[in-house]
């Protein structure tokens, strides 16, 4: 019983981390339709910013998170303005270009910091126990923090003027432009926001996961899988998707290894696509 509880709580924690990593992807891929293969590297940039801020500059973790958001958002702005915008309407080329950027970012960090893993101290130490199950405070913080970011993002997209503009552009770019929305600027800000969220995910994961120049790949794939399972443009769907992925990985990890869980999730995606393709990928065509 206790072990199941432990697995569930672990799963909740990893779900939160997965959701955090996928949120930026939902915004950039779901709303803007840009598949960003450098998403994992934006997470890596966030993690390294957190490392620099806490270990090298001695700042506290809150400041490190703010800096991580800012650094990744800045990288996002550069990407959008210099590359993504110029390839608008050509998704495959955009994908290739962002892959080029991911290689650039990996190697830049590799050259500056070296290939070895870096260590970030856990900012909130200590833990408490429920029966025999030990729960670190940092996990509680992670889950609460991600829930707050998720709620904030949804509010931003549904309730504010900016969010309405983003959604208007998603629905009909030409019409939105006719109504006086500066779509180029909204694109840049949206991309920056999505990238910033990725950076935040990196900072949040840094104390509990390994920080290295090549850490991005698994995050990228995981984010894709969760957002695809849940419906690429849906925040709620992605939350459900990350819960599914996180919990099934944790629970199956208890009986076999997490590779099996990954494979199962992948098969699930294929099945979802096979039997409900329109539901996830295409809007109903007229």
Enumerate residues 16-75 that contact another protein by CB under 8 A: 35, 37
Asked if residue 100 binds another protein (CB under 8 A), the reply is yes
CB of 93 to another protein, least distance (A): 5
Among 107, 160, 171, 172, binds another protein (CB under 8 A): 107
CB of 115 to another protein, least distance (A): 8
CB of 233 to another protein, least distance (A): 13
Enumerate residues 225-264 that contact another protein by CB under 8 A: 225, 228, 257, 259-260, 262-263
Asked if residue 161 binds another protein (CB under 8 A), the reply is no
Among 87, 122, 156, 268, binds another protein (CB under 8 A): 87
Q: According to the 3-state scheme, what is the secondary structure of the chain?
A: CHHHHHHHHHHHHHHHHHHHHHHHHHHHHHHCCCCCCCHHHHHHHHHHHHHHHHHHCCCCHHHHHHHHHHHHHHHHHHHHHHCHHHHCCCHHHHHHHHHHHHHHHHHHHHHHHCCCCECCCCCCCCEEEECCEEEEHHHHHHHHHHHHHHHHHHHHHHHCHHHHHHHHHHHCHHHHHHCCCCHHHHHHHHHHHHHHHHHHHHHHHCCCCCECCCCHHHHHHHHHHHHHHHCCCCHHHHHHHHHHHHHHHHHHHHHCCHHHHHHHHHHHHHHHHHHCHHHHCCCCCC
Asked if residue 182 binds another protein (CB under 8 A), the reply is no
Asked if residue 175 binds another protein (CB under 8 A), the reply is no
Q: Please, which residue, 35 or 135, has the CB nearer to another protein?
A: 35
Q: Which residues of this protein are in contact with another protein, per CB under 8 A?
A: 35, 37, 83, 86-87, 89-93, 95-97, 99-104, 106-108, 110-111, 217-218, 220-221, 224-225, 228, 257, 259-260, 262-263, 266, 269-270, 273-274, 277, 281-282, 284-286
């Amino acid at each position: 019983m206790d072990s199941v509880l432990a697995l569930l709580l672990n799963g909740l924690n990893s779900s939160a981390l997965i959701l955090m990593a996928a949120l930026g992807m939902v915004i950039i891929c779901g709303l803007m339709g840009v598949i960003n293969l450098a998403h994992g590297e934006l997470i890596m940039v966030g993690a390294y910013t957190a490392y620099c801020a806490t270990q090298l500059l001695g700042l506290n973790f809150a400041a490190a998170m703010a800096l991580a958001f800012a650094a990744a958002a800045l990288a996002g702005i550069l990407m959008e303005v210099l590359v993504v915008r110029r390839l608008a309407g050509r998704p495959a080329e955009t994908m290739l270009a962002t892959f080029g950027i991911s290689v650039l970012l990996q190697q830049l960090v590799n050259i500056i910091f070296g290939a070895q893993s870096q260590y970030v101290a856990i900012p909130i130490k200590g833990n408490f126990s429920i029966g025999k199950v030990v729960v670190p405070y940092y996990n509680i913080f992670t889950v609460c923090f991600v829930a707050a970011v998720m709620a904030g993002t949804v509010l931003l997209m549904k309730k504010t003027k900016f969010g309405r503009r983003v959604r208007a552009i998603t629905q009909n770019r030409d019409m939105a432009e006719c109504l006086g929305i500066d779509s180029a600027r909204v694109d840049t800000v949206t991309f920056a926001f999505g990238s910033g969220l990725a950076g935040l995910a990196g900072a949040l994961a840094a104390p509990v996961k390994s920080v290295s120049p090549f850490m991005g790949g698994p995050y990228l794939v995981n984010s894709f899988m969760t957002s695809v399972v849940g419906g690429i443009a849906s925040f709620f769907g992605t939350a459900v998707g990350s819960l599914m992925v996180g919990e099934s990985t944790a629970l199956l990890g208890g009986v076999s290894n997490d590779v099996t869980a990954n494979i199962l999730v992948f098969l699930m995606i294929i099945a979802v696509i096979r039997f409900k393709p329109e539901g996830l990928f295409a809007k109903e065509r007229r």
